[in-house]
Chain A
Amino acid sequence: MTGAAAKIILSALVAGVLSIDRNAFGQFQLSRPMVSGLVMGVILGCPVEGAIVGLIYELLFLGSLPVGSFIPYHPLFPSLISVLLIGMYEGPRPPTELIGLAVLFGAPTAFLDRAVNIQWRRSNEKSFHRAMVYLRLGRTDLVQFQHVLSGLRAGLYHGGSFLLTGVVLVPVFNTLLKSSDFLPERLAIVAMLPFFIGLARLASDRTARKGWKGFALGLTAGAFVGIWRVLT
C-alpha cells in the first residue's frame, strides 16, 4: 500500500509540474500526452505502455484549440491517470490488454481537468485585483509576486486535484481488476478507439477544407506500408 501511495503522490507532482508548463510558463508542450505519457511511464516503470497511452490520446485532443478565451478539453489528466492505473499493476510487466480498461477510466477525467483549469483561472481574478492595489501603493515587487504566485498555483490546483482523483480511481480500478479477470481482455478494443476517433475528427475537418486528394494519396501510401509490415 505504501508503494501505491508513493506512486499516486509522485504522479500528482508530475501533473502539477506539467500543468505549469501548459498554463503558466513556456508552453513547451511537455503536457502533451505523447510526452507526459512517456514521462509518467518511465517514472512508474512502464515506459512502453506510457508511450502507447500518450499516442492513443494525442490525436483525440489535437483538434481542441485554445482560441480566444475558450478553454478546451486537455489530455493531461486522461493520459496521466491512464498510465498511473497501468503502473499500479503488480507484476513484472503490465499486459497490453490493460490499456483498454485504463483508457476507459482515464478519458472522462478530461472533464475534471477542464473544470480545475477554469477554477484556477477564476482564482487569478483576485490576484489581478491585488496587483492593482499593490501598484497604487507603488509596490511593483508585490505586483510581480502576484503573477508568479498565480503561475505556481496552477501546479497546486492541478496537482491537488490529480491526487484526489488518483486516490479515488486507483482502488476502484484495482478492485474491478481483481474481481473480473476477463474484463481487460474484453475491453482491449476500447484502447484504440480514441486514436481512430481523433483521426476521424481531424480528417473530417481537413478534407472539408482542403479536399480529398492529399488524404487519399496518404491513405494509399500508408496502406501499402501497413500491408508490407504485416507481410514481413
Chain B
Amino acid sequence: MNFTFRDRLNLFVRSLSLQGSWNFPRMQGLGFFFSLLPWLRKVSGDGFKEACYRHLGYFNTNPYMSPYVVGVVSRLEEEGKGEESVKARNSLMGPLGAIGDGYYWATLRPFTVLMSIALSFFWIAAAPVLFLLIYNTVHLKNRWSYLNRGYLNAHSPMEGASELHGKVFPRFMERMITLLLGFILGLAAFDTRTPGTALLIFGAAFLMFRRQWRTPAILGMLVILGIFLGFFGTEMRIPWSG
C-alpha cells in the first residue's frame, strides 16, 4: 500500500492537534488516536476495531516530536504488526519527549526569543515577526520530516530517533543563548539610562535564583523593593519607549 502525499498530509495536520484533549490520566492519548485514525481506517481492514483499542490509551511526548511516532506506528500497522506498533509507541515516547523538550523548549525557543529581543532594541516591530518566522519554519519543517523518517525507520526506530537534530546546530544555539543573555543585559542596562539600578536588580535576582528561591517569591520581593525605590524618586526608563 502506498503512503501517499495525501495520507501524510492528513496525518501531519491531525498531529498538530495532539494536545487538544490533554488530560492527567491519559495525557495525549486521545490526540494520538485522533492523528492516527484515518490511516488505521485505511490499512486495518477487518481488524479496525482492535487497532483502535490498541492506540486509544496513554500517550505523552513532546508535541513537536509526535509525528515521528505516528510515522513508525503507521508503517507497522500497515504491515499488520499491531503488537509491535504498541511496543514501539511505548518505547519511543519517553526518549522522544526528552529529546524534544531539550531541543525545542530549552534550546530553539530561548534562542529565537533572545535573538528577537536583541533585535527589538533597534526595531521593535520586527522582533515578534522574526521570532514567529524562524521558530515556526523550523518546527513545521521538522514535524513533516519526522513523519517521513518515522515511516522509513519503523523497523529500527530508536536508531533513527537519535539522529533527528544532528549536533552542530543545537550546540551553536546553546553557545549563542549564553552570549545573547549577556548582550541583552548590557544593552538593556544602558538603555534604561540608569545602569546602576538595573544591574542592582539583576544582581539581587541572580543571587536569589542561585540560592534556589522560587520565582514568585523573588518577583514579590523585588516588586516591593521597586515600589519602595519608586516612591523615593528612583526612575528607570523603558528601553523601547523612544
A177 interface residue, CB < 8 Å from B?
A: no
Across-interface contacts of B215 in A (CB, < 8 A): 60, 63-64, 73, 197, 201
B16 interface residue, CB < 8 Å from A?
A: yes
Contact yes or no, A223 B186, CB < 8 A: yes
CA of A206 to CA of B182, assembled, Å: 11
A169 interface residue, CB < 8 Å from B?
A: no
Contact yes or no, B183 A193, CB < 8 A: no
Contacts A51-B240, A222-B185 given; does A210 touch B105 at CB 8 Å: no
Contact yes or no, B178 A131, CB < 8 A: no
Contact yes or no, B56 A215, CB < 8 A: no
Contacts A147-B17, A210-B174, A221-B183 given; does A122 touch B135 at CB 8 Å: no
A96 interface residue, CB < 8 Å from B?
A: yes
Chain B residues bordering chain A, tally (CB within 8 A): 94
**A160-205: which residues lie under 8 A (CB-CB) from chain B?**
186-197, 199-205
A225 interface residue, CB < 8 Å from B?
A: yes
Give chain A's interface secondary structure class.
helix
1/0 contact string of B102-122 vs chain A (CB within 8 Å): 000110011001001100110
Contact yes or no, A206 B177, CB < 8 A: yes
Please give the distance in Å from B125's CB to the nearest CB on chain A.
7
> A199: which of B21, B128, B181, B229 is its contact (CB, 8 Å)?
B181
Nearest-CB residue, chain A, relative to B225:
A193
Chain A residues bordering chain B, tally (CB within 8 A): 95
**A26-63: which residues lie under 8 A (CB-CB) from chain B?**
26-30, 32, 34-35, 38, 47-48, 51-52, 54-56, 58-60, 62-63
Count A/B pairs, Cβ under 8 Å.
Answer: 292
> A217: which of B179, B191, B195 is its contact (CB, 8 Å)?
B179
B180 interface residue, CB < 8 Å from A?
A: yes
Contact yes or no, B236 A206, CB < 8 A: no
Please give the distance in Å from A186's CB to the nearest CB on chain B.
4
Contact yes or no, A131 B22, CB < 8 A: no
B234 interface residue, CB < 8 Å from A?
A: yes
Known: A191-B236, A206-B181. 7 other contacts (CB 8 A): A29-B109, A29-B131, A48-B242, A128-B23, A144-B34, A189-B235, A206-B178
Residues of A whose CB lies within 8 Å of any CB of B are 23-30, 32, 34-35, 38, 47-48, 51-52, 54-56, 58-60, 62-69, 73, 96, 99-100, 104, 107, 111, 121-122, 124-125, 127-128, 131-132, 135, 138, 140, 143-144, 146-148, 150-151, 154, 186-197, 199-208, 210, 214-227, 229-230
